């Protein structure tokens, strides 16, 4: 692998580790379960390098044996998402 690609891959890995670290740190606090979930969804969508502008959380309802939507974060419509990505520019990063 070329040094430039290695450096880029390492940078992405570091940013992904940062997301996981933020979630783990939130779990070790006195936050409620929903607050930890919110931190996790925010961490996933706050970093342009993660490539996500929306995140959904589903929990298992053991009795009904189904997934239940619990929380979501991100643009509310396709138009809002397009506007968000346009404002980030070609690099995907907010100015």
Q: Percentage of residues in the chain with pLDDT exceeding 90?
A: 19
0.75 exceeded by pTM:
no
Cα three-residue angle 41-46-48, rounded to 5 degrees: 125
95 pLDDT above the threshold of 50: no
Contact between 60 and 33 under an 8 Å Cβ cutoff? The reply is: no
Q: What is the pLDDT of residues 59-85, one digit of tens each?
A: 999 999 999 999 999 888 888 888 877
What pLDDT does residue 68 have?
95
Residue-wise pLDDT for 21-50, tens only, equals 777 787 787 778 888 888 888 877 876 666
């Amino acid at each position: 692998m070329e040094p430039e690609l290695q450096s880029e891959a390492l940078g992405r890995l570091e940013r992904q580790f940062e997301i996981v670290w933020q979630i783990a740190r939130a779990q070790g606090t006195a936050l409620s379960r929903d607050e930890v979930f919110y931190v996790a969804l925010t961490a996933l969508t706050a970093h342009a390098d993660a490539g996500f502008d929306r995140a959904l959380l589903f929990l298992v309802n053991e009795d009904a044996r189904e997934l239940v939507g619990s929380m979501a974060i991100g643009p509310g419509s396709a138009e809002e998402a397009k506007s968000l990505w346009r404002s980030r520019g070609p690099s995907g990063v907010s100015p």
